[in-house]
Amino acid sequence: MAVPSHIRSFGKHTLLYGVSLAALLFLINWLQIRYLFIDHAMDIYIGGIAIIFTALGIWLALKLATPRKETIIVEKEVYLPTPPAPLPANAHFVLNEKLLEKFRISTRELQVLQLMATGLSNQEIATHLFISLNTIKTHSSSLFMKMEVKRRTQAIDKARKLGLIP
C-alpha cells in the first residue's frame, strides 16, 4: 500500500535526479571545453564514475537503511533492586491505531502526547524533538481539540484509557 507509492515516488525522483545530473555534467563539460580545454573523453569518464558511484550509494543506503516502521511504542522497563521476584511482564503495549485515525491525531501530535505523559514540560518536549516551544504549543492545542479535552492531564488520562499511550 504505502510501499508502492514510495517506490513510484523514488523512481520519479531518481529519474529527475538523473536528468539533473546529466545536465550538470553537460554544463561542466561545456565550461571545461570553453575554458579549460580538457579532454572530452575524460569528462565522460568522470561522469560515468559519478553516476556509477551515485547508484552505488543509493543501493548501499537502501540495502542498509532501517526498514519502514510503524509508530509503535515499545516500553522497556528497567528495574532497580529486586532480589528474587520474577518481574511482571507488562512490557508490550500495542497502539490503538484505529482510535488515532478516528481522532485524526497526527504522528507529531502523538509524540507530543507521549512525552507529555512522561511528565515533560512543553519546553522540554521542544528540546527533545529539536523543534520550538511554539510548535509544541500548536501541536498540543490541536491535540486537545481533537481529543476534546481542556488540559494535558486530562489528555493523558483519556489517552491511557483509550490505549493511545502505555
Partner DNA sequence: TTAGAAATCACCCTAAAGTATGAGTACAGG
Partner DNA sequence: CCTGTACTCATACTTTAGGGTGATTTCTAA
Can you give the binding site for DNA, defined by CB under 7 A? 5-6, 9, 11-15, 104, 106-109, 121-123, 129, 131-135, 137-141, 144, 150-153
* Residue 38 lies near a second copy (rule: CB under 8 A): yes
Query: What is the size of the binding site for a second copy (CB under 8 A)?
Result: 84
Q: Which is nearer to DNA, 51 or 137 (CB)?
A: 137
Binding-residue pattern over the window 53 to 92 for a second copy, x denoting contact by CB under 8 A: xxxxxxxxxx-xxxxxxxxxxxxxxxxxxxx-xxxxxx--
Do 166 and 113 form a contact (C-beta atoms < 8 A)? Answer: no
> Phi-psi region for residue 119, left (φ > 0), alpha (ψ -120 to 50) or beta?
left
Rg, C-alpha atoms of the chain: 25
Alpha carbon distance 102, 79 (integer Å): 36
Distance in Å, CB of 13 to DNA, minimum:
6
Contacts of 28 (CB under 8 A, 6+ apart): 43, 47
Distance in Å, CB of 39 to a second copy, minimum:
11
Residues in the chain, overall count? 166
* Partner in contact with 122, chosen from a second copy, DNA, none, beta carbon below 5 to 8 Å by kind: DNA
Site for a second copy in 93-132 (CB under 8 A): 107, 111, 114-121, 128-130
Do 43 and 29 form a contact (C-beta atoms < 8 A)? Answer: yes
